[in-house]
Structure 1
Amino acid sequence: MDPEGSRIQDDPDVRVMMAGSTLRKVKSKSWKKPRHFRLLEDGLTFWYKSRWAGRSHSTFSVTEVEAVREGHQSEVLLSLAEEFPADVCFTLVFRGRQGNLDLVAESPEEAKAWIQGVRKVIHKAQTMDAKERLDQYPFTVVHFRVWWVWDWFQKADKNKDGKMNFKEVRTLLKMMNVEMNEEHALRLFTMADKSESGSLEIEQFVHFYKILTQRDEVWKVFQDYSGDGEKLLLDELESFLSIEQQEGEQSSRRAQELIDRYEPSETAKKQSAMSLDGFQIYLCSREGSVFNPEHRELHQDMNQPLSHYFISSSHNTYLLEDQLRGQSSLEAYIQALKRGCRCVEVDCWDGSDGEPVVYHGHTLTSKILFRDVISTLKEYAFKASDFPVILSLENHCCLEQQTVMAQHLSQILGDVLLTSLLDGQVPQQLPSPQELRGKVLLKAKKINGPGDCVDETLMDEVSDEEETANDDAESLPTEDPSAECLKKSKCKLSRELSDLVVYCKSVHFQGFEHARSQAKCYEMSSFSESKAKKLAKDAGTDFVQYNTRQLTRIYPGGRRTDSSNYNPQEMWNVGCQIVALNFQTAGLEMDLNDGLFGQNGCCGYVLKPDFMRDANTQFGPEKPKELRGYKPLRLSIQVISGQQLPKVNQKEGSIVDPLVRVEIYGVPQDQAKEETSHINNNGFNPVWNETLNFVIHAPDLALVRFEVEDYDKASRNDFIGQFTLPFTCIQAGYRHIHLLSKDGTAIPPSSLFVNISISELE
């Protein structure tokens, strides 16, 4: 038994949640309704209903909850501060783009119990042992606490008697996305029904589940290296790691480590051997993942100039939805920063009461206070990463409110805001992420250069995005109807605000030749996506060279009022660092962004390839063969099988017909996609055994995206799941790809099992 697992049920806070409480669910000032909430006996599922809802209720898993915030830490609860004191309020923060849940307890004691209790069950779910999660060792009720299997049992057990008859099992199979003929299902049911009662209790159901999830394809790989078919001896496991997993010289040390870490049988451990169960646990583990775990950690040189890194960057960070009517929210900043974003955008406009506001100007998007944005930045800037955050300011305010902005920046951020040169010297190159750890840098217009002393107020141009609007073929007319007046009259720039800009001075781009001879490293320009695409096509090598010295920011074209995104890969191909995307919009583009920045500790900074850091580089994305040391690689992916793919159509009896598509994103010559055939009516354990082949000409820039779709011959295929990673982070051999949802959140236990080979092109 797991002592921690038993203790969690006895915890007084968890007992309060299991007993249940009436909490107010709050959506707005006018929508505040009581709901009865409780934690179910599995310790992993929250259940709630209204007193008028009859038998209907809602549930969500603790694995969907990322954090609990105490007090008035949401805009809704803050607006109700006079009605509900902070000590009875809390917010459940969900993963991905799911809206948060604002709750009000009846007493401070009850709120505290729920806040602490939810944190405890989140911690318990996050720290479950790998063996426990995979149900691969002696099956007890406690060890069985895997939320998705328990959830299946709960849903299929219609009469809630703790048992499951065959009819309920058939329903369960449909829910698990598997089409199985009744005769086979009955045979498995009978094998598991040891008591011959015609129903399965929990431990019998676990046995049934284990038979159901038996992996023949894993067993075959195991048999290839096992001398007796029962276990892998140390030298046999070493051979597997060396030959199949391409771990070379370290395979001997790794073999013993993997046995110690993943083998559930103490008897096998004493023999320095690995059983089939241990082998499957290893293959499903972090070490068995397609993403090299060493590349997940912070491992790159962080002492190079800022211009030598790709930087995770957000556009219109304040928006949760579209750019015409969407909601502006502090939550959008919190979510972006928690995802490792290191460049956030703030569009500032004059507020009616002298306080600057943030919103998408001259639209129906809601407004939030500038000072609240800066307070949020102060609190969340460095929770996901210690490396610097760039605050990209789109300034539309009058002189007076600019001064108010400067005061808020200085007073709220304090020493966190970088306001002077690190060594007092005008730089010849930008400082490094390491030197700037824990600092916020302001990107905005500046009256003069760092270190200069000029007292007069500059008559400054309009914002970056407005000044490039005329160059943007995709752009709508400038968003500000008074832009022409602004251009004629010029807009004054506050000295106080200007003085806060040090290393990120916004300037108008005057061409690559001018930049080579005149530009300073601390000057940076913003380009619309179409302007950047044109420059990349017409002068790719010049653009790469420019980006070795100076920072470049790219933003979506003006017609993207739905907050859609452009493909960031085209911008990374020429070394652009700050490729700003709408983080609130799920899809391929954010998958690529998450894939690139999933490496290096998810710190938001990724070191560019060495040929993009050399000021004299001759690299251009259109001609990778001219790269010094050019060595194309062959990527071969055998797509073996899938495991427990999620349903995309919740209709009764609907089963997916999955296919796997592999897409390569990189320089134009590397853009490619191949796909498997589809498997009819099997989302539970489809087997393809099909091989897809690619040639990669610029491996250091390539991203590989695995996507699973539900085939439909009459209409567009439905998305099931995906996983994207840099080519350089791939582990060869037999690997699992743990799929992510459209939101980029995990959807366990859904995965693909593949065999990957990487070799030099002959």
Structure 2
Amino acid sequence: MAGAQPGVHALQLKPVRVSESLKRGSRFMKWDEDSSTVTPVTLRVDPQGYFLGVTGLFCCVLWRRGFITALFPQEAKLRELLDVGNLVGRIENRMLTVVTGPDMVNIQYLNFMAFQEDVAKEWAHELFSLASNLLAQNMGRESCLEKAATHNLIVCSCSSLQNDSIPLEDLTPDVYKSFINNLCPRSEINQIFADLGVKSRNYLTVDQMTEFINNKQRDPRLNEILYPPLKPEQTQLLMEKYEPNPAMIQKGQISVEGFARYLISEENSVIPPEKLDLSEDMTFPLSQYFINSSHNTYLTAGQLAGSSSVEMYRQTLLSGCRCVELDCWKGRTAEEEPVITHGFTMTSEISFKEVIEAIAECAFKTSPFPIILSFENHVDSPKQQAKMAEYCRSIFGDALLTETLEKYPLESGVPLPSPQELIGKILIKNKKSHPKPSDGSTKKKLSEQASNTPAEVEAEDDEDEEDDDDDCKKSMDEDTAGCEAFATEEMSTLVNYIQPTKFHSFEISKSDYQMSSFVETKALEHLTKTPVEFVEYNKFQLSRIYPKGTRVDSSNYMPQVFWNAGCQLVALNFQTIDLSMQLNLGMYEYNGKSGYRLKPEFMRRPDKHFDPFTESTVDGIVANTLSVKIISGQFLTDKKVGVYVEIDMFGLPVDTRRKAFKTKTSQSNAINPVWDEEPIVFKKVVLPTLASLRIAVYEEGGKFIGHRIIPVSAIRPGYRYIGLRNEKNQALTLPAIFVYIEVKDYVPDTFAALSNPIRYVNLMEQRSKQLAALTLEEGEEEKDTKEVQTPADPQTNFTVLEACVSASEMEAQTVEELKQQKGFVREQRRHYKEMKDLVKKHHKKTTEMIKEHTAKYNEIQHDYLRKRAVLLKSAKRDGKRSPEHGPSFFEQELANLDQDSGQKLSELKEQQQQQLLNLRQEQYYSEKYLKKEHIKQVRLETGRY
């Protein structure tokens, strides 16, 4: 079974529990740095843990976000105002800051001060636990409706809003449910209930409900021993839980209302809770996991201009990221403090030390597993590199991994340690100097690098660990940050298991602790030319993929492409929540949001080989068949507009289907639209463990409403509610889609009779009847009709079985017997030589075509780099920046240049892909023809024809 597991996972996730002290509330002082004001308030959390309420001179409701910290007022007057009265403990230990906002960039700080240290500590711990609860982040439909009701109750309780609301005592839970049911009637639920065999009755029996759950709601991919079907006594307990009428419970019956309550319950969620939990084995080498990774983590906007932010490191780590990037440059101030910025651009600088402090603060708040710090080190000062090393040692302390583990020495053939063995550790990825003969010291090399002008190095790779010091001419796709500085001894001693090296070829890459970084275009080239070798490389060594330098708007490439090849560190711009980043968030939402996802087994085992472009079933993996029917929507938007639903599938190239399905647009109804259309069927999902289903809802004009991304391997079949997320992947409370899903192990048409023999025989009989109407001779109608209705002769109706019997009567021969026949051996040798010559011929054609396109590609690159260098040099020289030649002028010029070059490259790429496709098709059909001829010849030679 595709869904079979070695054992039943014991769920470790705990439901939300709000402590009594948070329910009662505590007194705080709310302070604001900008206005220098201090206001007494009371903080309180509702019993379900949905909201944090702040009451005092005002009333507000704060949506939860996942970070609680403690900021300290910088203004002396404000500190004096706060530190007045009978207070217990140091003022800095009584601070509490709630960070809230719609995304990682646009955040707001709400600062409070408790009157006692233990109160601040308790609130910080409890609030963070509530905000980071995975079950709360993936609420079922029932909890979403309850959350909406809680919100309305809180709003009604605000004195400032009471004139605009109904009396609080009138808004009981029953009144609210009645209001929701009247506002959004569910006729489709009544129809489903009737279709289950209710007929004139208004209830389902225990047996009917058991049959419904086992046949419709249970995942057929599950192992029936580990996950047995539901028994009637278990169904009875469910009915008692959701049926509101005690009399019907006594009779073993459930009404349509109880049935509807079951459908919205937490145990009927579309994702099983064990998938959200830490359920994957974390004891394999580090290279056998996908690792959530960020590119240029410090940026809040584009790559050329805008602000850098220390807060981005906190937000990125709290979202589950386990690999962040630090672009380090020499500080120019008198203090000689290293900074982080995007070199040779107009982005702002931030303190290296503050970034290290932020990382230390948030490193293991949401995940205990190791963090990789990807240093792009341009600090050409030995003194400042020594400072960097000292900050890492002193601030990270024991969390910094400075020595290798005894079981895992840095030797060829020794695997990397596992995430489990590196729990709570921080690993540094930085250039590492190795003792070798040299005619100059480290200081001399650094001084030589410092003397280089920006114009000399502006066309360099973002990740110059790929490059030697004399190899600094890179393509337009690779960033312009400049060659990295020579690593001093202090920095080199911090580097162990993540040693960046220049990539030469897959054949000579052998040491597991050495890794390479690839710009997306170079990685795509390797994937296109040598896909199997790329997968093999990623079984043992780490690879980091990063966006090309022309993505100045911080857009992202599609990460699925490189997950298909087993690339671990697929780094994205976290500040841009586009479709690519949404897929990344969906990928790492599971396995306890640990930032690590175990790769499929065939991507890890050395005795297995995998081609990401395969169209056939993968060895050891059972393909899936998935069917999705969009039934209805609820509270999609409060606008009076039509809405429609689109479905996409992402995975291997053979599995990916963009805009595979689109419903009709509802007629000006977004509250409870109902679609009565045929389901979309994905007949064969070759690799369900790497495939994701995306369901998105839009207004009739194309405006995005919400979406949800769900792994195919985790999706539950049956009637399910799918709660939607916004474009930032934050859960929307009320909008949801009601669907019917069928998922099962894929069975080829050839074996359909074995999968469902009764259905197969019925189909054969139906086809016989249909053919009879076309083949009857005149005067034979009555006779043949009787024969069809009462088949007496099995030979006329079961020709397939007859053919099988005839085939079984043929004398079988073993492979060893065939090898003894000279004709067979001779034909085998001839066929092998023909196939070898064919492959060689097509390889030669492919090589020549690639050489031709590479020459054209380099010509476009060199022209682009020359023009870009002139523009950047002009921007740097123009210090005063007159209004007509300000930053926006140069950004526009660069954008125009990027667009022109991008269009040329896109055309060249499309041409190359088409030619490659033609060559592959030609080779495929040639090989197919040779194989058929070979089989015919073998039969002739062996007398088996």
Which band: TM-score by shorter chain?
Answer: 0.7 to 0.9
Residue matched to 2:739: 754
Q: How far is 1:135 from its partner?
A: 6.2
Q: Is the 8 A contact 1:545 1:614 kept in 2?
A: no
Q: Verify: 1:320 aligned to 2:292, yes or no.
A: no
Quick check: 2:708–2:723 contact (8 Å CA) kept in 1? Answer: yes
Cα distance 1:118–1:607, how it changes in 2: closer, same or farther (>3 A)?
closer
2: distance between equivalents of 1:133 and 1:396?
Answer: 51
Match of 1:417 in 2: 400
Q: Note closer, same or farther for the CA distance 1:230–1:410 as it changes in structure 2 (3 Å cut).
A: farther
- Aligned residue identity for 2:300: L
Shift in Å, 1:295: 1.7
What's 2:103 paired with? 97
Q: 1:110 to 1:324 in 2, by over 3 A?
A: farther
The one-letter amino acid of 2:674's match is V
Aligned partner of 2:164 among 160, 167, 170: 160
Q: Label 1:354 to 1:276 Cα distance change in 2 as closer, same or farther (>3 A).
A: farther
> What's the counterpart of residue 353 of structure 2?
371
Counterparts in 2 of 1:210-609, with a 5 A limit?
Answer: 210-225=181-196, 227=198, 229-247=201-219, 249-252=228-231, 255=235, 258-259=238-239, 262=242, 274-351=254-331, 352=333, 353-397=335-379, 398-423=381-406, 425-427=409-411, 428-448=414-434, 465-466=463-464, 473-475=475-477, 478-480=480-482, 483=483, 491-515=485-509, 519-609=510-600
- Structure-to-structure mapping, 1:683-722, within 5 angstroms: 683-690=670-677, 691-695=679-683, 696-712=685-701, 717-722=702-707
Task: Return the alpha-carbon distance in structure 2 between the equivalents of residues 419 and 69 of structure 1.
Answer: 28
Distance in 1 separating the partners of 2:662 and 2:159:
34
Query: Letter of the aligned partner of 1:222 in structure 2?
Result: F
Question: 1:139 maps to which residue?
Answer: none
Asked whether the 8 Å contact 1:163–1:202 carries over to 2, the reply is no
Question: Is the 1:263–1:274 Cα contact (8 Å) retained in structure 2?
Answer: yes
Q: Which runs of 5+ in 1 are unaligned?
A: 52-56, 137-142, 165-198, 450-454, 648-653
Match of 2:935 in 1: none
- What amino acid sits opposite 2:507 in the alignment? E
CA RMSD, Structure 1 to Structure 2 (Å): 4.1
Indicate if the aligned counterparts of 1:446 and 1:501 stay in contact, CA closer than 8 A.
yes
Please give the secondary structure, in 2, of the residue aligned with 1:446. Answer: coil
Q: Which moved more, 1:422-431 or 1:80-89?
A: 80-89
Which stretch has the larger CA shift, 260-269 or 389-398?
Answer: 260-269
What's the CA shift for 1:504?
Answer: 0.5
User: In the alignment, is the contact (CA less than 8 A) between 1:104 and 1:111 conserved in 2?
Assistant: no
- Please state how far the C-alpha of 1:719 moved relative to its aligned partner: 0.9
**Corresponding position: 1:732 with 2:720:** no
Task: Describe the superposition over 1:109-162 as per-residue Cα deviations: whole angstroms up to 9, x where unpaired.
Answer: 3999899789889989989997984668xxxxxx99432687699999894252
Distance 1:564 1:131 in 2: 33
The 10-residue stretch of structure 1 (81-90 or 695-704) with the greater mean CA deviation from structure 2:
81-90
The separation in 2 between residues aligned to 1:589 and 1:708, in whole angstroms, is: 17
**Structure 2: how far apart are the matches of 1:626 and 1:694?**
14
Amino acid at match of 1:683: A
How far residue 568 of structure 1 moved from its aligned partner, in angstroms, is 0.3
| Amino-acid identity (%) | 34
Give the TM-score of the pair, scaled to structure 1: 0.78
CA contact (8 A) 2:337 2:352 kept: yes
Deviation of 1:686 after TM superposition, in Å, equals 1.1
Deviations 1:265-315 (A, max 9, x none): 666666665554443343234432222322222222211111111111111
Q: Answer whether contact 2:68 2:128 (CA < 8 A) is retained.
A: no
Distance 2:597 2:366 in 1: 15
Residues 264/66 of structure 1: CA separation in 2 closer, same or farther (3 Å cut): farther
From the superposition, tell whether residues 438 and 277 of structure 1 become closer, same or farther in structure 2 (CA, over 3 Å): farther
Amino acid at match of 2:184: T
Q: Which amino acid aligns with 2:431?
A: K
Q: Which residue of 1 aligns with 2:793?
A: none
The one-letter code of the counterpart of 2:347 is T
For residues 311 and 265 of structure 1, the distance between their equivalents in structure 2, rounded to whole angstroms, comes to 50
Give the superposition deviation at 1:355.
Answer: 2.2
Q: Retained in 2: the 8 A contact 1:552–1:576?
A: yes
**How has the CA–CA distance of structure 1 residues 122 and 710 changed in structure 2, closer, same or farther, with 3 Å as cutoff?**
farther
User: Kindly tell me: are residues 584 and 618 of structure 1, through their superposed partners in 2, closer, same or farther at Cα, counting changes over 3 Å?
Assistant: same
Which protein shows a greater Rg?
2
Shift of 1:549: 1.1
| SS of match in other structure, 1:146 | helix
Distance in 2 (CA, whole Å) between partners of 1:388 and 1:122 is: 21
CA distance in 2 between counterparts of 1:754 and 1:68 reads 37
Q: CA, structure 1 residues 286+156, in 2 after alignment: closer, same or farther (shift >3 Å)?
A: farther
Cα-to-partner distance string for 1:656-691 (whole Å, 9 max, x where unaligned): 321111111112222212211111222211111332
SS in 2 for 1:735: strand
**DSSP 3-state at the match of 1:669:** coil
Change (3 A) 1:210 1:149: farther
Q: Secondary structure at the match of 1:635?
A: strand
2:480 partner letter: T
Give the TM-score, by structure 2 length. 0.64
Give the distance between the partners of 2:362 and 2:46, measured in 1 at CA.
Answer: 33
Q: Which residue of 2 aligns with 1:193?
A: none
Counterpart of 1:361 in 2: which secondary structure? coil
Asked whether the equivalents of residues 313 and 343 of structure 1 are also in contact (C-alpha less than 8 Å), the reply is yes
- What letter is aligned with 1:502? N
Distance across 2 between alignment mates of 1:572 and 1:540: 12
Superposed CA offset, 1:155-184 (max 9, x none): 9989425269xxxxxxxxxxxxxxxxxxxx
CA distance in 2, matches of 1:701, 1:545: 17
Q: 2:354 and 2:153 mapped to 1: Cα distance?
A: 43
Q: Does 1:61 align with 2:61?
A: yes
The 1:89–1:323 alpha-carbon spacing in structure 2 relative to 1, beyond 3 Å, is: farther
The 3-state SS of whatever aligns with 1:526 is strand
Task: State the 1:537 CA deviation.
Answer: 0.9
Q: Which has the higher helix share?
A: 2
- 2:659 is aligned with 1:680: no
Unaligned 5+ residue runs, structure 2?
Answer: 1-16, 80-90, 221-227, 450-459, 750-945
Tell me: CA distance 1:752–1:446, structure 2 relative to 1, closer, same or farther (3 Å). Answer: same
Alpha-carbon distance in 1 for matches of 2:666, 2:36: 47
Contact conserved, 1:618 with 1:627, CA < 8 A, in 2? Answer: no
Change (3 A) 1:108 1:148: closer
The separation in 1 between residues aligned to 2:252 and 2:538, in whole angstroms, is: 53
User: How far apart are the structure 1 equivalents of 2:167 and 2:372?
Assistant: 56
Deviation at 1:479, TM superposition (A): 2.8
Cα distance in 2 for partners of 1:5, 1:437 equals 29
- Tell me, in whole angstroms, the C-alpha distance in 1 between the residues paired with 2:203 and 2:313: 51
Describe the shift of the 1:415–1:756 C-alpha distance in structure 2 as closer, same or farther (beyond 3 A).
same
Partner Cα separation in structure 2 for residue 236 and residue 615 of structure 1 = 49
Cα 1:565–1:602 change in 2 (3 A) is same
SS in 1 for 2:743: strand
SS in 2 for 1:636: strand
Structure 2 distance, partners of 1:702, 1:246, is 20
